[in-house]
A and B are shown apart, each in its own frame.
Chain A
């Protein structure tokens, strides 16, 4: 392929002047196959995403390929109809953990990879810090921030590049339930303002329903669910329609996960401890008692009964090992 990258970049930087208004990128995934050695994780995936759409996706492999962190085994990804690696600078990623450099202050972390005069960069960094509500923490070390604040900084670090495609790799997974909802609102309002295309990996169905225009489920390397969520924004976790949608996706997810029996344990509910915000559901399983923390609100929307048989599932990265 004989494309002069420099020339292409010049054209793009000339267009980049009104980049703020530039809409998101459209994504076309064509017959995508990804193998890690013998193991095939994607089996000829096809997916089209419109510019400016917010997609919630269950399954991580596609995101790392879009970010260019892993290489495609065969098939292709088109961004705005062009090969993905030509538009790498328009794609930014938010990781599961914030991945801030501990030896750089908050504002230096945000300025990473930026060129230009120091004053200009600082101004822009302060502006995005303001958007995520942390303008007063600019000169602190990341180690002084809470988990939620670190993810805010990571979001600001992505935003300062004015991405046209923002990839969110389960960035809220490690946060507590309340911070999580707060962050969902923040991400939604920033997405509305900037109109980039957003791809969120999540394993929390309620989060997928709260944020996604579409929910895409990738299981065993294939798309097993591609469901539009036609609910008005902002979506309140308490609404009836929201709960209905959530339970439908959840049921679908459960059946898929039941076939793929990893990290799950079946049991009967032995006790429900209700508190104002978070409640605990205790499940008696053949191997002992398992406790699940759920939002009281979602418990009132989808009531559970003592004695009911349930399937508890958990993420492999949340299982701590001790000897």
Chain B
């Protein structure tokens, strides 16, 4: 009896977050069927679904998703990796901070998208331009949070580590990195969100494949259902990236009460 009710409770817990999106979809479908919404402006959800199935069947959809994801992740790896590396360096060594931080803070205040004209001049409209924009976009949130994380490690713990014989790399591995990790992961999560924003803009400039290319192409032929499908795909991929970041947090920060699964 009690077991049954806990299962029901858990089911209810899992369903409630989806209640609102499902009712919006239902209202939208009805509005489109009744004729309140012109399908030229906003096609019904069912039509979007049909477009999705059709594109998936030809394999075209997966090709675009693959290209976009790979593009986003490559840019993230380059920008995030550099941000992590420089953040660790400036956070750990006062001299590197003095030499680099002012420059980085100045560049940070330039919105990456403002560089688009320049980036096109430099790299043309190739893959490099897109990767450059994505890398630049994710770099700073990883960099700043890593720097901040290293700097805010409890000095009492570092003192303890030193007096118990830790130094150099072992002090870094046991005390400083784990202490900075929660802050670094905040940066990663934020960067993953921003990564999709930059990707969308970068793909609408010009592309031969990818979700952005698919939607821009569909716009030319007034296929609003495919445009909408593209937008939905961005939402799903964004959500997936966020879930992945959260799983990482849960795994690496399981010592922290606020992340434990209990």
Q: Which residues of A contact B (CB under 8 A)?
A: 67-69, 89, 92-93, 95, 97, 99, 101-104, 112-113, 141-143, 157, 161
Contacts and interface: CB of A to CB of B under 8 A. Distances in A.
Interface string B136-174: 000000000000000000001101110111100010001
Given A102-B255, A104-B178, 5 more contacts: A104-B255, A113-B170, A143-B255, A143-B257, A161-B164
Contacts of B161: 112-113
B255 A95 contact: no
Contacts of B166: 112-113
A196 B170 CA distance: 28
Given A112-B174, A141-B255, A143-B257, A101 B163 contact: no
Interface residues of B, number: 19
B256 interface: yes
Interface of B: 156-157, 159-161, 163-166, 170, 174-175, 178-179, 181, 253, 255-257
Contacts of B170: 113
A102 B163 CA distance: 18
A143 B253 CA distance: 12
Given A92-B164, A112-B174, A99 B255 contact: no
A171 B240 CA distance: 47
Chain B CB within 10 Å — which of A102, A104, A157, A161 has the most? A102
Main secondary structure on B side of the interface with A: helix
Given A95-B156, A101-B157, A103-B255, A68 B174 contact: no
Main secondary structure on A side of the interface with B: loop
A112 B165 CA distance: 8
Contacts of B174: 101, 104, 112
A142 B166 CA distance: 20
A113 B163 CA distance: 9
B29 to A, nearest CB: 49
- Can you list the 10 inter-chain pairs with the closest CB atoms, starting with the nearest? A113-B165, A113-B164, A99-B160, A103-B178, A103-B255, A141-B255, A112-B164, A93-B163, A113-B166, A102-B255
Contacts of B257: 143
Contacts of A99: 156-157, 159-160
B165 A89 contact: yes
6 contacts: A95-B156, A99-B160, A102-B255, A102-B256, A103-B255, A112-B174
B163 A97 contact: no
B164 A157 contact: yes
A95 B164 CA distance: 12
Contacts of A93: 163
A99 B255 CA distance: 15
A67 B156 CA distance: 14
A67 B160 CA distance: 11
A68 B255 CA distance: 31
A71 to B, nearest CB: 13
A152 B246 CA distance: 34
Contacts of B179: 103
B256 A95 contact: no
Nearest to B162: A69
Given A68-B163, A112-B166, A101 B178 contact: yes
Nearest to A97: B156
Contacts of B165: 89, 113
Contacts of A143: 255-257
A68 B163 CA distance: 8
A64 B131 CA distance: 52
A112 B156 CA distance: 15
A51 B94 CA distance: 42
A213 to B, nearest CB: 25
A95 B160 contact: yes
A152 B160 CA distance: 16
A118 to B, nearest CB: 15
Contacts of B156: 95, 97, 99
A93 B175 CA distance: 17
Contacts of A102: 255-256
A142 B160 CA distance: 15
A308 B174 CA distance: 54
Nearest to B178: A103
A321 B24 CA distance: 51
Contacts of B164: 92, 112-113, 157, 161
Nearest to A112: B164
A68 B167 CA distance: 14
A38 B157 CA distance: 28
A68 B160 CA distance: 11
Contacts of A141: 255
B177 to A, nearest CB: 9
Contacts of B175: 101
B167 to A, nearest CB: 9
A71 B170 CA distance: 23
A116 to B, nearest CB: 13
A112 B162 CA distance: 11
A103 B252 CA distance: 9
